[in-house]
Amino acid sequence: MGFEQIVGQNLLVRALERSLRSGEVSHAYLFAGPQGSGKKTLAFLFAQALNCPGENPPCGECLSCRKTRSGNHPNVFYVKPQGSSIKIEQLRELKEKLFYLPTEGFKKICIIDDADTLTLPAGNSILKILEEPPEDLVFLLLSSRPQALLQTILSRCIHFYLRPLADQEMAALLESKKPLPPAERELLISLAGGNPGRALQMLTQGSRQEKLEEACELLRRMECSSEAELFSLAEELTRRDDLQEIIAVFVLIFRQRLHCRINGVPEDVLLEMFKPLNKIDSSCAGASEAKTLTKKSSLLRLEKTCRALLHLQNELLGNVNRRLALEVFLLTMRGVV
């Protein structure tokens, strides 16, 4: 298996293949992107390709490729944080190997995972190597926070950013791993936010159904609580690590509701697709206001809520007061503002 297993990063892969073909390989590359975007997979494939004698590297099958993949290649080094950082002690022995170990015709490749956790002395040590690198040494730095790396290191790297995947690319990736019912696939794509690692993790852990049920329970409370209780709910939501994922489910649910309303499709269809939503109606039976919101909400109110949700999603990506943003959303959803 070669670069074809990297989905949705065609430009990046083509650039790497070009440099492999021309033999113009830099001493340092930065692969940047969020956790789960595929940086490590890409780095190990590139490391295989750099030492693969095949015509179309990496072949994935030669001894060098197999050793690199299994972490047993004597010239490929992988460094990751010990505890919360990569320390100078971790690099001392490595440095000796990088300078004095015979290459046996192979490139020496040093993959540094979470490179933004290099302590200052460790970073400076890397910098010293990069200033006068041994001829056959290639550094592959991986980072989800490249801005935290020393500027002097960054300036010596060729930068590659792994972009989030489009919905169709995610759908194709999921389809290749495990066919899912359309509604479930759409839910997973929404939850993963273009991140293939996160999608595959949820696919194997089956945590998406739990997330959906949790989101539906929160929605029930959002629609049934008194206005005063909304403020403590906003505070509770603020503290959640998975707030973006929960909001992604809300977007999906409200988009489906809007779709049903506009196309005159009975919401029962929606309830069938998202079974946990049934609970909303049954447990809200006593709250007439809430019932209006779930079953009989006006098109205008639904549209307004959808817009507010998308606005909230954008705001949460920036440096915003999360609690305030959530309070405004909840009040908008309930028609208070």
Binding site for Zn ion (CB under 5 A): 52, 54, 59, 62, 65
Q: Which one-letter DSSP state was computed for residue 178?
A: -
Residues 6+ apart with CB under 8 A from 309: 247, 250, 251, 254, 329
User: Which residue's CB is nearer to Zn ion, number 66 or number 255?
Assistant: 66
Closest approach, Cβ 268 to Zn ion, in A, equals: 55
User: Which residue's CB is nearer to Zn ion, number 52 or number 248?
Assistant: 52
Closest approach, Cβ 76 to Zn ion, in A, equals: 13
Q: Rounded to an integer, what distance in angstroms lies between the CA atom of residue 108 and that of residue 70?
A: 16
Is 329 in contact with 222 (CB distance < 8 Å)?
no
User: Which residue's CB is nearer to Zn ion, number 54 or number 164?
Assistant: 54
Strands 28-32 and 158-161, sheet pairing: parallel
User: Which residue's CB is nearer to Zn ion, number 62 or number 150?
Assistant: 62
User: Which residue's CB is nearer to Zn ion, number 69 or number 261?
Assistant: 69
Work out the burial of residue 262: count CB atoms within 10 Å of its CB; fewer than 13 is exposed, 13-18 middle, 19 or more buried.
exposed
Closest approach, Cβ 2 to Zn ion, in A, equals: 9
Closest approach, Cβ 120 to Zn ion, in A, equals: 38
Closest approach, Cβ 220 to Zn ion, in A, equals: 54
**Residue 320: helix, strand or coil by DSSP?**
coil
How many Cα neighbours within 13 Å face the side chain of 196? 27
Closest approach, Cβ 196 to Zn ion, in A, equals: 24
Is 198 in contact with 179 (CB distance < 8 Å)?
no
User: Which residue's CB is nearer to Zn ion, number 63 or number 120?
Assistant: 63
Could you tell me the end-to-end alpha-carbon distance of the chain, in angstroms, rounded to an integer?
Answer: 55
